[in-house]
């Protein structure tokens, strides 16, 4: 059988690589777990980068486990949980930038974190160069970060936004997506969770008036209902984040299946480079061809 000239000259390009940049272990599931599983299942290489080990995060004291309940012990445990989460989601490579977790407590504007090497206080250009090396090695087509407020104001999440955009510029990564939640949906979800709070413990929730991203600004609405199995398995991997009071992961895992599909079945992103009014169902939709 003969082959046409156009076919002979065609070059097969591999599917674009997705790099997801997160602040702490478990963040990768909460906002992008279904997207990661979907991309991997569709043949894309997925790389997960976390800035910190989450050693100063909230946890049941018993979860701090090794090293006599030290923060370092919790960090080690959370990295093992991250590795299992990445495995079930289909991640090909996991990298830790090695900064200290800035903690989850309130922090005055401009105040230092109080911890040596805290990611929130890191030099943006220095941290961006670390991430840019990975982006360049992977020839990343898409990088996910957070919105300017880090979703709900956590200083490490805000720093992910700053560092991620700078790294993408350094590496020439063509698409940066802000992993977020549609604020209209979030408001409805908060009301539902408060109703469920009569039967289930509900964690402290951010101010729904300012958290995450307004519906008109969301550019990507990704259906991940077909990947709820690996997403829920990845949530279960983060066992240290399921105790010590009302916790988000514990609540999500306790949802009945119909509610779980509604709450976990969609993931949202914003592409600041997309044309106004455009809506996409695939995180690779705006990658240059």
CA atoms within 13 A on the CB side of 203: 17
The average pLDDT across 191-208 equals: 64
Give the CATH class of 16-270.
alpha beta
Percentage of the chain lying above the pLDDT 90 cut = 63
Domain edges within the chain: 16-270
Report the alpha-carbon distance of residue 239 to residue 250 in Å, rounded: 9
Q: Which of 56-65, 140-149, 211-220, 240-249 has the lowest mean pLDDT?
A: 56-65
pTM value is 0.87
Q: Is the pLDDT at 128 greater than 60, yes or no?
A: yes
Closest Cα to residue 240, out of 29, 33, 74?
Answer: 74
Report the alpha-carbon distance of residue 174 to residue 272 in Å, rounded: 12
* DSSP per-residue codes, 103-146: -SS---TT---SSTTBGGGS-HHHHHHHHHHHHHHHTEEEEEE-
> Given the structure tokens 């495995």, which residue do they identify?
87
CA distances from 72 to 97, 102, 103, 182, 241 (A): 16, 13, 13, 35, 15
Q: Is the pLDDT at 199 greater than 70, yes or no?
A: no
């Amino acid at each position: 059988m003969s082959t046409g000239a156009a076919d002979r000259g065609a070059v097969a390009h591999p599917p674009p690589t997705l790099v997801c940049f997160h602040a702490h272990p478990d963040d990768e599931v909460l906002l992008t777990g279904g997207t990661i599983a979907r991309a991997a299942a569709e043949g894309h290489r997925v790389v997960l980068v976390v800035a910190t080990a989450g050693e100063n995060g909230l946890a049941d004291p018993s979860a701090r486990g090794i090293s006599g309940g030290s923060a370092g012990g919790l960090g080690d445990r959370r990295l093992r949980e991250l590795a299992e989460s990445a495995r079930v989601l289909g991640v090909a490579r996991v990298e830790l930038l090695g900064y200290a977790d800035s903690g989850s407590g309130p922090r005055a504007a401009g105040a230092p974190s109080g911890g040596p090497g805290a990611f929130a206080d890191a030099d943006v250009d220095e941290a961006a160069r670390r991430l840019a090396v990975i982006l360049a090695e992977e020839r990343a087509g898409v990088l996910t970060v957070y919105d300017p407020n880090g979703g709900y104001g956590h200083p490490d999440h805000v720093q992910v936004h700053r560092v991620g955009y700078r790294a993408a510029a350094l590496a020439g990564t063509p698409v940066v997506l802000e992993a977020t939640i549609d604020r209209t949906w979030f408001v409805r979800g908060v009301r539902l969770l408060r109703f469920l709070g009569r039967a289930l413990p509900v964690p402290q929730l951010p101010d729904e008036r300012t958290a995450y991203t307004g519906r008109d600004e969301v550019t990507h609405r990704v259906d991940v209902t077909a990947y709820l199995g690996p997403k829920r398995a990845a949530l279960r991997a983060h066992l240290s984040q399921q105790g010590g009071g009302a916790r988000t992961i514990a609540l999500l895992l306790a949802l009945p299946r119909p509610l779980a599909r509604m709450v976990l079945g969609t993931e949202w992103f914003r592409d600041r480079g997309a044309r106004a009014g455009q809506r996409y169902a695939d995180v690779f939709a705006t990658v240059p061809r």
